[in-house]
Amino acid sequence: MKRWRAAYLAAVAALVLSGCGGTGGGSGKSGDGKGELLVWVDNTRTPAAQQYKKAHPDQKIRVVTIPPEAGYVPTKVSLANRTKSGWPDVVFLTNPAEAATLASDKFGYAAPLDDLVPKSVRDGFAPGSLDTCTFGGKTYCLRNDIAPTVLWYDASLMKKYGYQVPKTWAEYQQTGLKAAKDHPGTIVGAINGKYGAGTYFGSSGCPTRDTLSLTKVHIDLTQASCTRVAGLLQPMAEEKAVTTVVPTDPAFAKLGADDKILMLPGPAWFGDFMFGPAFKIPKGRIAAAPMPTWPGETKSYAGQVGGGAFLVSAHAGDRTEAAADLVRWMTTDVNLQAKQPTYPAFTAAAEKWGEAKSEDPYYASDPMPALSEAANALRPGFGAVRFEADWQTSFNDTVGKAADSGGNLEKALASWQEKLDAAAKTGEYTVE
Amino acid sequence: MRTLTPTRPPAAEPVPRAQPRRPRHRGRGAAVWFLAGPYAAFLAVFGLAPAGYALWTSFVHDGSFAGGRNWTAVLDDYRLGEAAQNVTTYLLIWLPVLLLTVLSLAFTLHARPGRATGALQLVYYLPGAVTGSAAALLWLFMVSPDSSPFGPLLRLLDVENATDALSGGSLIAVLAVMGVAVHAGGWIVVLYGALNALPKDVLEAAQVDGASAWRTMWHIKLPMVRTYVAFVLISSFASGSQVFVEPTVLSTGAPGQISPTWSVNQLAYVYATQDGDFGKAAALSLAMLAVGLLAAWIVIARTRMYATDPTEAR
């Protein structure tokens, strides 16, 4: 009886969750219908897909809104693989790491786009942004939006405390330690899950998930690009200048309300979606600077935390061209992308998108120079992996835990490496 | 204090065994089939057939027979050990707390029957009715000291924020609390029903003897409903070892905080949905089915819940 109830609860949960996505989850029946293009997009991308549908009355298109939960698309595709029907022709990924799952031999779902989307178009994307989609030299997806990290800071607090915006990580550390000492409770960064690992280790180029192909990944946390991050964060964690609280935690919002967020290196979307709506920081205070530079480098490199991507199904058959056309339009149409909520991956669209952002009265100063610099300086070696979830939780279990308990971060890297190795092997990678 | 009533109620008058020469009514077989048929059909379609298919699937890899490959791969998976450890710890916390909650609330309801009893049963049932993303948000706020009504208690337990609450050992405690809130209501109703079915004469005799409410509960009611208590315990063990909903729901409220393979059942789900490996999923699910079957066997064989002869049912 209990098990039935658990199953019932799960079913209800699934229904409620899919209901949140909009027009009720992916009702399996696929683009088996002759010529009907089946398009799965999340709530945010639905109007754009509808717009494409309207503009192409000759092409039968069915747009289905899917929930944005991590794992949803692989789940549905896995079931479609089992029944050998019901694949969507086009799918939007809110978690682009899932491209690694969907392109794998086992799933065999993602179609290579190299012949479907001209190189000239692909070259128009932010440099390195399609690395997420590229395995063994083939491109399996197009990025819709990217999430390069910048150094967000509270310009009013910086002025009030008399600090300069740091240009190097050493200056960042100094400022952070000073702020934590002089203004107790103040933080200058968050080290939790993808926010910590993607921002700091991603920007440093530490190979935690450097995909060499669909079955090979390079993980080596003994490299200087990793140990220098541990060295940077060690004293800051001890003095609580960086927090292990996840930015989506209500307790983090309280830091914002209490004027305790001095700086926060984080993805581009933090600007519009976290500082105002979540942290309740009033307008005219937040500004963006390029990420600080690492020793021996003059270029500021960005890490990545998020973004989205479009895939075309390998089962689309005679609808493949149409599917590729829709994906190309959704990701590269300048007017469409300029109105999207997050930073467009297509460079020309990003420029247009930035025109509005530059005028946004929320920011203390124009954030676009820092954002576009970051978009053009994505640190290579941050690939899409099938063990994304473990990548996050293993970071928290090792580096995060050490930071919390005053442990040694560099030593914690060794245990993170162990966990990443195990996770990668379970994901059917060979680790190099 | 001495009571005149024996602590164990006397067995009901032995009912004479049914006559072997019971006249066979025509249509009796049809009635049996009519009553048992739907269940048998459901069992076959939604229980036996999938289990059989799973058994077949667990020995197949890439479309061909693979022997024990899937089974050994599951046992070798480092995530299984972690998940099993999580679930074991969860059971160690959840089962006693659940049982204690169910017992104390059911006995309290029975000891002080009143107009509120019905309403209270509904109230106990309510937490289980909140599901999905609503439950995820609700619980996320419950474990955030800044917004939770239990903030001071959480701080006392050194939980400063939701990130703390949802990591390491405290995550298990949070899940156990969730599990108790969701499951207790149903069992309270069951146990309350069992208490209501107790023979009134025995309870009255205890009252006449001057037994306090506490003694009545401890020496009369509890022994008489102990098969139900065993049933609650064993069924809960079976469902608790298959814990899936609570960590899954909670992780939708805190993405990236809780491992998607936190529990054994979640691992089986991940095999099928994220790894695309139905063979391993089937193998692990069957292993979990074995745990459930063992619990079911204990219920049937040891608690005599299903005994039809009243002399047996003690």
**A49-70 per-position pLDDT tens digit:** 999 999 999 899 999 999 988 8
How close A363 comes to chain B (CA, Å)? Answer: 28
Q: Average model confidence (pLDDT) for chain A?
A: 90
Biggest distance spanned by C-alpha atoms of chain B: 73
- CA B115 to chain CA centroid, nearest Å: 28
How close B146 comes to chain A (CA, Å)? Answer: 7
Look-up of token digits 């979606």 = A273
Q: Considering only CB atoms, which chain A residues are within 8 Å of B77?
A: 426
Distance, CA of A342 to CA of A337 (rounded, Å): 9
**CB–CB of B245 and A15 under 8 A?**
no
CA-based nearest residue to A212, from A100, A297, A361: A100
Among B79, B168, B255, the residue with its CB nearest the CB of A426 is B79
Q: Which pLDDT tens digit goes with each residue over A352-400? A: 999 999 999 999 999 999 999 999 999 999 999 999 999 999 999 999 9
Helices A46-55 and A320-332: crossing angle, nearest 10°?
A: 120
* B194-207 per-residue burial string, b: 16 or more CB within 10 A, e: under 16: bbeeeeeebbebbe
What residues are paired with A378 via a beta bridge? A302
**CB–CB of B278 and A82 under 8 A?**
yes
The CATH code of domain B46-302 reads 1.10.3720.10
Interface size A-B, in CB pairs within 8 Å, comes to 126
Distances (CA, A) of B184 to B99, B133, B153, B263: 8, 21, 22, 21
Residue in B with minimal Cα distance to A253: B146
Q: Considering only CB atoms, which chain B residues are within 8 Å of A95?
A: none
Q: Considering only CB atoms, which chain B residues are within 8 Å of A74?
A: 273-274, 276
What residues are paired with B121 via a beta bridge? none
**CB–CB of A16 and B160 under 8 A?**
no
Distance, CA of B47 to CA of A366 (rounded, Å): 62
Residue in A with minimal Cα distance to B266: A10
- Kindly state the tokens that stand for A341: 């909520």
pLDDT for A34: 58
Is there a contact between A330 and A123 (Cβ–Cβ < 8 Å)? Answer: no
How close A44 comes to chain B (CA, Å)? Answer: 18
pLDDT for B139: 84
Biggest distance spanned by C-alpha atoms of chain A: 68
pLDDT for B300: 80
**CB–CB of B161 and A192 under 8 A?**
no
Is the pLDDT at A26 greater than 60? The verdict is no
3-class DSSP state of B233: helix
pLDDT level of residue A29 (50, 70, 90 thresholds): very low
**CB–CB of A249 and B292 under 8 A?**
no
Residues with Cβ within 8 Å of residue B267, at least 6 apart in sequence: B77, B79, B80, B83, B261, B284
Helices B78-111 and B69-76: crossing angle, nearest 10°?
A: 80
DSSP label of B66 = -
Q: Considering only CB atoms, which chain B residues are within 8 Å of A84?
A: none
**CB–CB of A250 and B244 under 8 A?**
no
Catalogue all structural domains in chain A, each as residue range(s) with its CATH number: 17-146+305-357 (3.40.190.10), 148-303+369-431 (3.40.190.10)
Distance, CA of A395 to CA of A403 (rounded, Å): 11
The residue ranking higher by pLDDT, B263 or B295, is B263
Residues with Cβ within 8 Å of residue B66, at least 6 apart in sequence: B59, B60, B279
| Host H or E run for residue A150 | strand A141-154
How close B212 comes to chain A (CA, Å)? Answer: 35
- Read off the pLDDT of each residue in A202-227 and give the average, rounded to a whole number: 95
Is there a contact between A378 and A148 (Cβ–Cβ < 8 Å)? Answer: yes
